[in-house]
Amino acid sequence: MTTKPLILILCTGNSCRSHLAEGILRAAAGDLIEVASAGSKPAGYVHPKSIEVMNEIGIDISSHHSKHLEEFLNRPVDTVITVCGNADQACPMFPGQVHRHHWGFSDPAHAVGSEEEVRGEFRRVRDQIRLVFEAYAAGIRRETKLER
């Protein structure tokens, strides 16, 4: 029995963008890959608005928790994807790491304005992440199909 390749999504705080990406990628290709997220300086929580806007698209990330990237240093990681510039600069090499991608997104946790304006920024970033990570998942599906 072969294990699924682990894709690790990194962000500095592991409270917003990395959890949005983890939830979307798991929903799109979790049958083919293992997906996790972590941070170089974890915030210690998942931002409530991240949970809220993911629920709007039918993805529940309420059980996610903020983790440090060191939790994964002793695991074989196939692919590391950084979603913020700070994590890209702080990212170590992981055992077994074959691929590395950096797709930066603005941090919705820094949004200012009314409650609805902040929620709108979380939605905007979620939708950008969704476009990128669903396309990435489609590529994984194509590659898997070709290998069979």
What value does the CA radius of gyration of the chain take, rounded to a whole number of Å?
A: 15
Contact 88, 82 (CB under 8 A): yes
List residues with catalytic annotation: 11, 84, 91
Closest CA to 8 of 27, 28, 31, 33: 33
How far is Cα 16 from Cα 27, in angstroms, rounded to an integer? 17
Pick from 69, 73, 81, 68: nearest CA to 29: 81
Q: How far apart are CA 103 and CA 25, in angstroms?
A: 14
Structure tokens at 4: 């699924």
Which pair of structure tokens corresponds to residue 108? Answer: 């919705």
Q: Which two tokens stand for residue 133?
A: 């990570």
